[in-house]
Each structure stands twice: as C-alpha cells, then as structure tokens.
Structure 1
Amino acid sequence: MAALRPGNDDKAWNDPPVFAYTEVQGTPAAAAPKRNLLNKRVPYPQDGIKPPSAPSVTGSAPPPTGPATPSVPSPLKTARSDDPTEASNKDDQKEAVGVNDTSKPSPACSPESLKEETLSNLEKAVAQCAPNIEKRKQDDVRKRLEVLKSVWEQGKLSLPVQQRMHELALELLNGNHEKANALHIFLMVDYVSEVSQWMLGIKHLILAAQAAQEKPDCDTQEST
C-alpha cells in the first residue's frame, strides 16, 4: 500500500489523505520490459535448395522452365469440298448455264431468216400436235402465233427473246420437250413483259407434244 505523507497542519482532521506515488510504483519505468522471442527457429534448407524468393516489385512472372511446345500448323484446306450444299449450288449453276448457253444461231443468220425459221417450225409443231389438241385450243394457239408474228415484225422483240424462241421452236419440233419447256420457263421469268401475250399458246404446244409422245407408250402397255 502507498505510504502516507506526513500530516499538514493547515488541513482539517477529516481531510482525505494524499498518497505519494514513487517512481517505482507510478512511472512507466516500473512496467516490466517486453522480451523478444529468440527461440523461433527457421528450418534449414535441405539438399542445398534455396527457398523461393519473393516476387519482384514489378510483378513479372518467372520464365517457364519447361521446353517450349512447338506450334502445330493448321491443316491446309483441300481443293475439293464435300459440302452437299455447295455441290447442289454447283449443280444449279450448271443447269442455269445449260439453259443460258444453248446453241445460238450463227452470226450469218439475218433477223428476217431468224423470224421465218422460228414461225415455220412453230407451224410444223402445230400440225404435228393437232390430233392431241382440241379445236378450241388449236384456234387459240394459232391466234397467239399471229400475235407473235405481229410484234416480231414491229420490232418489239429484243434479240435475246428472238434467239430463245428460235431455239425453243427447233427443240419442240425435234421432240426435245424438256429443253423446250426449260426455255419457256426462262422466257416467262426474265422477259415476261415481252412474251406474256402469246407464250400461253407455246405452252399448249409443249403439253400437246408431251401427250403425243406418252400416248404410244400407253398403247403398247395395254396391248401387252
């Protein structure tokens, strides 16, 4: 317990005593000093391997120690493609080229002779198909051929239409109905404004020629 100071005559008997704190008891020097822990040991590296050093301040990663993996070149594309879509597109292009690159009249053929040959072949086709066409349709076909002749003579047909009609009439007369029908579709798609007035008569001729070709086959099957 702290020692009592000697009494003061100036204070009354009931004044509280004043304690005197010595340097040992009241100053911070009296606190026990902290001891450093010196018994913590660091394990000695085994086999002479140095412990990993701390990363550098810049944060760059250490270079890889393993061998570099060689880059594998990408396989070259083959010249031939097995894509069915691409193959079908090529077939469509070939078919379109077959229609567009049909045999054209020689340059020596004059526009007048081109017209005469076309109309003559169409008249021959009408005569061949007459047994398979109704009288009313025959009259309609001949009327539309007259319209074709009129617009041709008036110079209202472009050169591509004249050439395709010459080819169509020749194919129809020779019995190549599929080729004639392909030329008919080509003209109706690309030159509908020029051919719409008379192309229906050509369509009747193509259908009648196909029916005439199929009729002998049906008769042969019935006889057997």
Structure 2
Amino acid sequence: MADLYVKPGNHERGWNDPPQFSYGLQAQAQGAPKRNLLNKRVPPPQMNGPQSNTGSLANKGTPLNMPSAPPTMPLAPPRCASVSPQQKRSEEDNSTVITSSDSEPDIHVDTVMLVLNWALAVCQSRVKKQVCDDISKRLNLLVDMWNSGKLSFPVKKRMNILAQEIKKQNWNAADEIHRSLIVDHINEVSQWMVGVKRLIAESRSLPAEVFTVETSED
C-alpha cells in the first residue's frame, strides 16, 4: 500500500533522504467524501456575531441567572402559647412549695446556749478557770451577734446541729461542723468560734461518765 503513495526511488539520493510522495494519489484521496472531525474547536459566542448580553456577562465572570442576594422569607409572627388551667394551677403549687422551703424557721439562741453552757459547766469542775473564762467570754460574743442579727440563717442552723451533737457526745461530728463554719462563714464566726472549738476539745478529753452524772443531776 505504501508503494502507491511513494514515487519510484531516485538512485542519486542518499539512502537516508525522505521519500517523495505522489501528488496524484494525494489528490485522489482529497476527492473522497469528507469525514466529520470530532476534534474541531467551537468558536466562542463573541466570534459568531455581535456580543450579546449573555456573552458580556460570561466575559465579566458573572454567573448566569444568579440573584444578587438570597430571597428573604417573611418571618412568621410568634404564636402565644396558651396555658391550660391545670398547668397554671400546677405552677402556682410549685411556687408555693419553693416559697415555703426557702422560709427560715425560727431558731432561738437559748436552745443552742442551753447545751453549750451545760458542756461548759461540766468542764468547770475539771478544767482551769482561765480556760473556762475565755470560753464563756467567746460564747457571750456569740449571743450578742445572734441577738443583734449579725448571724445568717445557715450559721444559726449549723450551730443548732452542732449543739445537738455535743449533747449526744458526738465530738467528731461537732468538730466537723465547727470546721465547716470556719471555712464557709469565717467573717461571721471568727470572733467566737475559737471558744466553741476549745469547748469541744476540753469536753472530748473528759470521761464520758462525767456527762452522764451531770445529766442525771439536772
């Protein structure tokens, strides 16, 4: 097949010279029906005629049919939630429970001092007078601050529990409450809590029979 496209060789040409193709056979090939070329490039829109709006937008890099801002949806008006009578009554009951739980019960200072003075009376027969006098002085400061309204309800409540633990001779529990008061309410208890601490320490060192005898005599 290659012989049809190439002329007879020329002996005067070198062995590595390119062959000469036949012009007539090339013309015959050009007369054949043309095939559709799939690699033909399509010209851009602006080369087919006057520039259109679409072409100008494409040249400027602006997306076609793209809105400048997202559509704004109208906000629905808020709906007022209706409260049923049962729900309203339940909320009123809950508020009543919370109010009653937050109310401060009346804790009288005499209830607390009755136990503290009892423990101090037991110590006076076996502890140095100077120590007992200092404890009594601190306890008087407690009474003054209590009656003048300088003590908060949490302090009064814990002191009431502390007095009950002393009455039961639960010295560890009483000492733990005294430490919690110092940590949480130092500004209120700093002036008189030293006397309560010393009272617990001196009472702990005494025999348990001493408190039993004092209680039976009372």
Interval of TM-score (by shorter of Structure 1 and Structure 2): 0.3 to 0.5
Q: TM-score, normalised by structure 1?
A: 0.47
Q: TM-score, normalised by structure 2?
A: 0.48
